Structure 1
Amino acid sequence: MTTIAFDRVQHLVQVPVTIGSATYRFLVDTGIGTTVVSSAVADRLDAATTGETFTGRRMSGQAIEVPLVRVPRIALGDYVVEGHIAGVADLGDDFAGILGPTFFENHTVTTDPDARTLTVQPRDYFLADGPEIPLDVRRESVSADPFTQLVLPSGREITVEVDTGSDSLILDTRFAADCGIDLTDPDVTMRTGTDETGYRWQRHWATIAGSVHLAAARQTAQAAPRIMFQDIIHDGLVGTGYLDRYRMTFDITGARLVLGARTL
């Protein structure tokens, strides 16, 4: 077992990892699909190009293609992964990479938002300390994306991605009525913008009157959450605004999420 202190880049967990003789700052993101290293880091590594690429999709549908490399050794504290496959992308200067779910195969990773620690241990040694939420892990090539069921105020059950890369609870606009929201209401905040792929998005934010909860655990209900509505390719995404209410353990191999009580 290894426990590492983390800091935050906005809502995102950031940890130190060692590759070769250098230490870099990487984010940890359940919704990224595959691990990604920055172009600058890949250029400095003795990373073997696989000759293959992987194409993922943003939540609004745009395809993002990245070349794949095999990183010889990545160490997070005492937890070491040899020959991990990662995508290469231009990530800017704020961090050097993103650890995706497959980096933690056969292990559990527990995020404690109060102690600000990340604990990795073999999954067979972990004892569940809260409700277990089954995950539908959708695998494609080197990618793994976790989904689960969320119940809306109307009682409708939808499939949402578990995405710690997002801070918001995000739903496709077609579910606004299930949350009692009229997107044309003047009390609803609306913004538009253009992302780096050239896609022009429109987003709405509203605080709903009811509550939402994970279908497998009614006790996870969150009353009057503020939800972002956008036209997306999934039903929705559950982000850290919902998940950080717990000491969360993520088990990609066992296809489960365990939500333990916070200590503070």
Structure 2
Amino acid sequence: MFLLEVGNLKENFAKYFSVEAAVTDELKREVYRVRHAVYCQELGYERTNPNEEETDRYDERSLQIALRAQAHGRIVGCVRLVRTDPDDLAAPLPFETLCADGIDRTIVDPALIDRRHVVEISRLAVLSDYRKRKGDSNSPMAISDEDLGTRDQPRFPYIPVGLYLGLLAAAEFHGIEHLFTLTEPRLARHLTALGFRIHLFGQAVEHRGKRVPSVVFRREAMAHLPGFMQPLYDQMKDEIFRQYACETA
């Protein structure tokens, strides 16, 4: 991996993108339109609809994170954190139903931890113009080995790193400790190569391709966050905390 030549990550990231907590109805609709473009129109995972907004019943209790492109100011990527049902904490999150028989509960058992501090990461989507591998028709966000660069031409995958740091900041604000997801094995491998702690804890299932149940322990992830990412995370955290504070004021 050849990432140490990226220079000042915080300043370089700010040239191209910003990450925001989607707390207003207007910003949430922008997120839903990105999801419709990727999940419905491009990949065909969900049906298209006249409103051109992709939503489901989990959005009512989800934290939405948006990636904005500085070049034109529009939202080009997103991810959400689905929280457990406050009226029925034992009710399964979507991944728990999809891979109920494939979870290795000796590693972590989602049913036995404090479910007030649990989320599922889902609906990760990036518009095709901003994905490195535009020909990769099976993934809403792809990272290839080339995205990590070479010794002579170092590169940095700003989009996945920005969204990942954004969701960690949202999780910190809301006291979330366990972040579960169904992830592509390739994406998990590349995020691990970037220095993030992602633990696979079950067998692959077929869900829009092969997906493996995975978990991020937030405190562990922050304790091992690569040092050159810390200034970018601190900046995102300040902004996202401010946005959530304004929402509750």
Q: TM-score, normalised by structure 1?
A: 0.29
Higher Cα Rg, which structure: 1
Q: Would you tell me which structure has more helix in proportion to its own residues?
A: 2
Q: Would you tell me which structure has more strand in proportion to its own residues?
A: 1
